[in-house]
Chains A and B, each alone.
Chain A
Amino acid sequence: MTTTYEPNQVLSNETFKVVGTRPIRHDGADKVTGRAKYGADYTAAGLLHGKTLRSPHAHARIKSIDTSKAEALAGVKAVVTSKDFPPTKDTADFGLGGQPMDRFRGNLLAGDKVLYRGHAIAAVAATSPHIAEEAIGLIEVDYEVLPAVFTAPDGMADDAPILLEDLTTQEFGKDTGRKSNIADHFQHKMGDLDKGFAAADVVIERSFDTKTVHQGYIEPHNVTALWNDDDRIHVYSSTQGSFVVRASVSEALAVPVSKVRATPMEIGGGFGGKINVYGEPVAALLSKKAGNKPVKIVMSRAEVFEGTGPTSGSHTTIKMGATKEGKIVAASANLQLEAGAYPGSPVGAAAMCVFSAYNVDNVVIDGYDVVVNKPKTAAYRAPGAPNAAFAAEQVVDELAQKLNIDPIELRLMNAAKEGVRRADGPIHPRIGCVEVLDAMKAHDHYSSPITPAKKGGKTGRGVAIGFWFNIGFASSCNITVNNDGTINLIEGSTDIGGSRASIAMHAAEVLGITAEEVIPQVVDTDSIGYTAITGGSRTTFATGWAAYEAAQDVKRQVVARAAKIWGVDPDSVEMVEGVIRSKTDTELNMTFKELAGQINATGEPIVGRAAVDPAGAGASFAGQIVDVEVDPETGKTDVLRFTMVQDAGKAIHPSYVEGQMQGAAVQGIGWALNEEYYYSKDGKMDNASFLDYRMPTTLDLPMIDTVIVEVANPGHPYGVRGVGEAPIVSPQAAIANAIQNATGRRMTSLPINSVAIMEASWAAKTS
């Protein structure tokens, strides 16, 4: 319970020596001096520069491509098109599930059709980026422009233009043989929906729409590839998964995986968008064709917007019913998510999350994965869940209003807890949904009056809660002990937000040393065991666990070495908080550092290793309290106060947990109020720059207050739950609820920008 207000609180109930402290990150000095090497900073002797030709049309057949003029330009060393890909297997799995290779290659370089504006068609390598750009302009493509479709409901229409001629709809796990843009329709069902609604005193049904939005990382995608004279390919890029890069280059170019080495450079943000691979195989092809010269491709900002995966726009219908006492008795969802040009929207995750913060007996969830003429979507933090929560959390808010029950109270009355079944099957283990809601209710923000208006507008408060399941997956870690008592720790998880520190802290805690006595490094795919993506909020959980296990391996060897030095039975020796001691003879003890100094003289080096694939990732919940001011004259909404509460299980490095919560809050604010791909009628993104795709700046925001709740995850040695995704699930809904509270109007489409507010206001006046 909070009695005094602090902007950042950590509600811990278990403390450790290193875990839970706030050391300076190990890569800190490099990152504040400009020394850290990001992908675009890599250079090599004889470097060539690549540029990509992209489709000006949303949907067109490619009748011919003539690259001869580009090839003839002085300084051009290679030009590639889809014809340069070798034959490959039909399907391949890069660590994220199997996918048809013709579609994967088709997104790298289009074959006979372009499916979205910005679709890559050809690439050039030249001695300078300017020459490469000139050469791109000399490639002649003859298009037959085709009708295009841009939203899920339009894509599902019977008369919709078909994107992929070989796509037939999968329905309830079976191939219908029906050609359409609906790649998949599935359903989760629990209880008896009709019976549930029959028992309800209040039923709310509404439809909601969200637009395509981009992750908006500041660093554009980049790659340098060298196809060496020994036919080994070395790829340097900013990626969320070096092993995904390795696998995708190997599969796309039909070379053995052992021939590819992927070096993950420092990465300038990803949020899910740098899991998918774009330029890596193309740069490798160019390298080979240019005579084994290194080729670097760095995307422009417009290419990032138009040629890489944003997240899905969506159309969602939610119906929920509750008794007059406030028990939610029935809920249904119809989720239609845009996949972009190829199947694979996050509708599955949306369906897993839509009602998972609640205990509802009667549920039906329908999900549709729909291809449309937009870039193939990629993950964006808790992909799919914000689309679902924007809808469901507004309906819950409306139920609370109709029932005249406090919105946090209604959520608490229906909150999911251990033993409750989710509609998609799993039964919740120990989770912190109730604890997050309790912390919201207890927070100074919730008991304070709504923040006064700064500009004379209407003010309102909204709340919402979001669920994300988190993932585990494989990670590897090696530790070597230095004779000064420090350790070198190597791992394979790209560090996007301080994970070197949180991973190193796992090992430090085990060995009783400080965080600073660990020297962590992220290394390439030749140098560490397989490690899955930095994504799914898994890195601190799973790679941290690998570090914990590798440190345990070191600890076992340290105990054995001390026993050898002392000439005693290893079973009689233990290591506690960094001190190795005999359980029976108090005279026999030494610190880890003292033992480290004797390693070289007393036997073999001490090297710890671990490879893990942990289950029990432990879901996370995050809730928001938001105060807004809406200017009735302009429709502009300002966020006046924002509090983010999240269950982190155990915050290894609380500053970086808060950072995840604050960053997600602000991405959520941008998504709620301003961000969208603004399309012309023919499918051109009219705002493909940071000027017009306007993300929040310092000036648009208040401080973002945080409360870290710690409900230990029983599936992790320190209780960690992943934290990167849950906090972006419901800020959009909390803001919409606050706007409703301020204006009396329920805004059902994102973004809720000035135009939307004013149109709603005018519509209310005329009706």
Chain B
Amino acid sequence: MSGKKVHVTTTLNGEAVEFLCEPRQSLLEVLRDVVQLTGAKEGCNDGNCGACTVNMDGRIVDSCLVLGVEAEGASIGTVEGIASPEGLHPIQQAFLEHAALQCGICTPGFLVASKALLEKEPNPSEDRIRMWLAGNLCRCTGYDKIVRAVIDAAGRMAGATA
């Protein structure tokens, strides 16, 4: 049942945001249909493809498995918040230069997940990257160029902070 809409106050890509949502709407639905941020994608709606990955209070989550009302008081980061006024983030630039996307539908999820990894662990091994990204499905690339892009982005970010 739809129920009465709920008022939610949250932080979205660093900005204070308020929205009304039905109790049954997922965070993914809210982001896409209510807030009109369509960068997070729906590939499966049951937490198995990672195309809807967003950062929630420093953890990556499948936004299809989170209710919109759970965003109350949280800080949400989506693909739309990765680039800055200075330009693309090193992870975005590395994805482009390594041709780490083909159709691009999984790319927002991979970028959000990869950025979260590199913020926690600045110099991950290939095995660690593969483990971290195992919740994100890509059907086009075979992952090779994605893994190489994340390794390269780690180097760029280390260079930028050195």
Contact = CB atoms under 8 A, between A and B. Distances in A.
Contacts of A691: 46, 48
A701 B145 CA distance: 12
A412 interface: no
Contact of B144 (A27, A33, A703): A703
Contacts of B130: 698-699, 701
Given A130-B24, A496-B103, A701-B143, A690 B88 contact: no
Contacts of B49: 218, 301, 690
A656 B144 CA distance: 12
Interface in A479-529: 496-498
A31 interface: yes
Contacts of B139: 215-218, 269, 271, 663, 667, 695
B131 A663 contact: no
Contacts of A656: 99, 102
A41 B88 CA distance: 22
B48 A218 contact: no
Interface string B127-138: 001110111111
B42 interface: yes
B132 to A, nearest CB: 8
Interface in B102-160: 102-108, 111, 129-131, 133-148
A703 B147 contact: yes
B79 interface: yes
B95 to A, nearest CB: 5
Given A219-B41, A698-B129, A699-B130, A32 B96 contact: yes
B44 interface: yes
Sorting the interface of chain A by its residue count into under 10, 10 to 19, 20 to 34 or 35 or more gives 35 or more
B43 A220 contact: yes
By secondary structure, the A interface counts as loop
B103 to A, nearest CB: 4
A427 interface: no
Given A40-B32, A268-B43, A699-B131, 12 more contacts: A31-B101, A38-B105, A40-B42, A41-B38, A130-B2, A131-B2, A268-B103, A662-B145, A666-B142, A697-B134, A698-B136, A701-B142
A27 B45 CA distance: 26
A708 interface: no
A34 B40 contact: yes
Nearest to A705: B144
Contact of B88 (A29, A220, A699): A29
Given A24-B96, A268-B103, A497-B102, A33 B39 contact: yes
B46 A689 contact: yes
Nearest to A701: B143
A178 interface: no
B65 interface: no
B76 interface: no
Interface of B: 2, 22, 24, 32-33, 36-46, 48-49, 51, 78-80, 82-83, 88, 92, 95-99, 101-108, 111, 129-131, 133-148
Contacts of A497: 102-103, 140
Contacts of A88: none
B97 A24 contact: yes
B96 A301 contact: no
Contact of B83 (A33, A269, A701): A33
Nearest to A31: B104
A279 to B, nearest CB: 16
Given A219-B103, A497-B103, A656-B102, A32 B43 contact: no
Nearest to A270: B103
A38 B37 CA distance: 12
A698 B125 CA distance: 13
Nearest to A653: B99
Contacts of A43: 33, 36
Contacts of B36: 43
A28 interface: yes
24 contacts: A24-B97, A25-B99, A32-B79, A32-B88, A32-B107, A34-B78, A40-B41, A130-B22, A218-B43, A218-B138, A218-B139, A219-B43, A268-B106, A270-B103, A300-B45, A301-B45, A301-B46, A497-B102, A665-B142, A666-B142, A690-B44, A697-B143, A698-B143, A699-B131
A31 B33 CA distance: 19
B101 A32 contact: yes
A37 B32 CA distance: 12
A31 B107 contact: yes
Given A25-B96, A32-B107, A663 B137 contact: no
